[in-house]
Structure 1
Amino acid sequence: MYSLAFYKKEFATNWKLAFPVILGMLGHTFVAFADNIMVGQLGAAELAAVSLGNSFFFVAFAVGIGISAAITPLIAEADGSGKKLNVKKVFKHGLVICLSSGIILFGVLLVLGPLMESMKQPAEVVALAVPYYEIISLSLIPIMVFQAFRTLCDGLSRTKIPMYATLISNALNILFNYLLIFGNWGFPALGVIGAGYGTLISRVLMVLFIAIVLYRSSYFREFITRLNWKKTSWGYVKKILNLGLPTSAQVFFEVTLFTMAVWLSGILGTIEQAANQIALNLSSMTYMVGQGLSVAAMIRVGNQKGKKDIVRLKEVAFSLFGMTLLIEIVFALAFLIFRHDLPLVYLDTESSLNQVENLKVISLASMLLLWSAFFQISDGLQVVILGALRGIQD
Structure 2
Amino acid sequence: MMNQTFSLNQKGLLFFKILVPILITQLGLFAMNFFDVMMSGRASANDLAGVAIGSSLWVPVFTGLSGILLAITPIVAHLIGGKKTKDVPHSVVQGIYLAIIISIVVVGVGALFLNPILDYMKLAPEVEYIAKHYLIGLSLGIIPLFVYTVLRAFMDALAQTRITMIITLIALPINALFNYLLIFGKFGFPNLGGVGAGYATAITYWCITAFAVLIIHKLTPFKTYGIFSTLHRFSLARWKEILKIGVPIGFSIFFETSIFAAVTLLMSSFDTVTIASHQAALNFASFLYMIPLSVSMALTIVVGYEVGSKRYYDAKVYSFMGIIVAVIISVISSGFIYLYKVQVASLYTTDLDVLILTQHFLIYAIFFQLSDAIQAPIQGALRGYKDVNATLYMSFISYWIIGLPAGYVLATFSSLGAFGYWIGLIAGLAAGAICLSIRLVILQKRYTENNALPSEKRRG
Category of TM-score, reference length = shorter chain: 0.7 to 0.9
CA distance in structure 2 between the aligned counterparts of 1:341 and 1:45, rounded to whole angstroms: 27
Cα deviation per residue 1:286-320 (whole Å; 9 max; x = unaligned)? 22222221111111111111111111111111111
CA distance in structure 1 between the aligned counterparts of 2:184 and 2:269, rounded to whole angstroms: 29
Q: Does the Cα contact within 8 Å between 1:135 and 1:197 map onto a contact in 2? A: yes
The correspondence for 2:212, drawn from 210, 214, 217, is 210
CA distance in structure 1 between the aligned counterparts of 2:253 and 2:207, rounded to whole angstroms: 27
The correspondence for 1:223, drawn from 221, 226, 241, is 226
Instruction: Report the 3-state secondary structure (helix = DSSP H, G, I; strand = E; otherwise coil) of the residue aligned with 2:221.
Output: helix
1:314-393 mapped onto 2 (5 Å cutoff): 314-346=316-348, 362-393=355-386
Per the alignment, residue 104 of structure 2 pairs with 103
Q: Does the Cα contact within 8 Å between 2:137 and 2:196 map onto a contact in 1? A: no
Instruction: Report the 3-state secondary structure (helix = DSSP H, G, I; strand = E; otherwise coil) of the residue aligned with 2:229.
Output: coil
Per the alignment, residue 163 of structure 1 pairs with 165
CA distance in structure 2 between the aligned counterparts of 1:360 and 1:299, rounded to whole angstroms: 45
CA distance in structure 2 between the aligned counterparts of 1:196 and 1:121, rounded to whole angstroms: 19
Deviation at 1:368, TM superposition (A): 3.3
CA distance in structure 1 between the aligned counterparts of 2:337 and 2:376, rounded to whole angstroms: 20
CA distance in structure 2 between the aligned counterparts of 1:252 and 1:310, rounded to whole angstroms: 30
Percent identity among equivalent residues?
A: 32
Q: Does the Cα contact within 8 Å between 2:51 and 2:195 map onto a contact in 1? A: no
Q: Does the Cα contact within 8 Å between 1:336 and 1:370 map onto a contact in 2? A: yes
Q: Does the Cα contact within 8 Å between 2:285 and 2:368 map onto a contact in 1? A: no
Cα deviation per residue 1:28-84 (whole Å; 9 max; x = unaligned)? 221111122222334544333222111110111112221012110110111112211
Q: Does the Cα contact within 8 Å between 1:71 and 1:151 map onto a contact in 2? A: yes
The correspondence for 1:248, drawn from 226, 232, 250, is 250
Deviation at 1:262, TM superposition (A): 3.4
Q: Does the Cα contact within 8 Å between 1:52 and 1:262 map onto a contact in 2? A: no
CA distance in structure 2 between the aligned counterparts of 1:272 and 1:127, rounded to whole angstroms: 26
Per the alignment, residue 73 of structure 1 pairs with 74
Cα deviation per residue 1:328-352 (whole Å; 9 max; x = unaligned)? 22222233333332344456x5xxx
Give the paired residue count. Answer: 380
Q: Does the Cα contact within 8 Å between 1:57 and 1:109 map onto a contact in 2? A: no
Per the alignment, residue 20 of structure 2 pairs with 19
CA distance in structure 2 between the aligned counterparts of 1:269 and 1:176, rounded to whole angstroms: 36
CA distance in structure 1 between the aligned counterparts of 2:125 and 2:96, rounded to whole angstroms: 40
TM-aligned CA distance change 1:9 to 1:155, over 3 Å: same
TM-aligned CA distance change 1:86 to 1:339, over 3 Å: same
1:284-323 mapped onto 2 (5 Å cutoff): 284-323=286-325
Per the alignment, residue 181 of structure 1 pairs with 183
Deviation at 1:186, TM superposition (A): 3.9
Instruction: Report the 3-state secondary structure (helix = DSSP H, G, I; strand = E; otherwise coil) of the residue aligned with 1:229.
Output: coil
Q: Does the Cα contact within 8 Å between 1:49 and 1:126 map onto a contact in 2? A: yes
Per the alignment, residue 355 of structure 1 pairs with none
CA distance in structure 1 between the aligned counterparts of 2:38 and 2:12, rounded to whole angstroms: 34
CA distance in structure 2 between the aligned counterparts of 1:359 and 1:189, rounded to whole angstroms: 34
CA distance in structure 2 between the aligned counterparts of 1:36 and 1:183, rounded to whole angstroms: 17
TM-score, L = length of structure 1: 0.88
**Is 1:133 the counterpart of 2:135 in the alignment?**
yes
| Structure 1 residues not aligned, in runs of 5+ | 350-357
CA distance in structure 2 between the aligned counterparts of 1:14 and 1:79, rounded to whole angstroms: 17
Q: Does the Cα contact within 8 Å between 1:120 and 1:267 map onto a contact in 2? A: no
Deviation at 1:120, TM superposition (A): 4.1
Q: Does the Cα contact within 8 Å between 2:281 and 2:365 map onto a contact in 1? A: yes
TM-aligned CA distance change 1:362 to 1:117, over 3 Å: farther
TM-aligned CA distance change 1:215 to 1:261, over 3 Å: same
Deviation at 1:244, TM superposition (A): 0.6
Amino acid at match of 1:337: L
Q: Does the Cα contact within 8 Å between 1:40 and 1:46 map onto a contact in 2? A: yes
Instruction: Report the 3-state secondary structure (helix = DSSP H, G, I; strand = E; otherwise coil) of the residue aligned with 1:341.
Output: helix
Deviation at 1:105, TM superposition (A): 2.1
Per the alignment, residue 192 of structure 1 pairs with 194
CA distance in structure 1 between the aligned counterparts of 2:106 and 2:272, rounded to whole angstroms: 28
Q: Does the Cα contact within 8 Å between 1:110 and 1:137 map onto a contact in 2? A: no
TM-score, L = length of structure 2: 0.76
Amino acid at match of 1:301: V
CA distance in structure 1 between the aligned counterparts of 2:125 and 2:145, rounded to whole angstroms: 30
Cα deviation per residue 1:214-242 (whole Å; 9 max; x = unaligned)? 11114312331223423x33332211111
CA distance in structure 2 between the aligned counterparts of 1:139 and 1:323, rounded to whole angstroms: 36
Instruction: Report the 3-state secondary structure (helix = DSSP H, G, I; strand = E; otherwise coil) of the residue aligned with 1:55.
Output: helix
CA distance in structure 2 between the aligned counterparts of 1:129 and 1:276, rounded to whole angstroms: 22
Instruction: Report the 3-state secondary structure (helix = DSSP H, G, I; strand = E; otherwise coil) of the residue aligned with 1:184.
Output: coil
Deviation at 1:365, TM superposition (A): 4.0
Q: Does the Cα contact within 8 Å between 2:140 and 2:199 map onto a contact in 1? A: no
Greater shift in the superposed pair: 150-159 or 283-292: 283-292
Q: RMSD across aligned C-alpha pairs, in angstroms?
A: 2.5
Bigger RCO (CA 8 Å, 6+ sep): 1
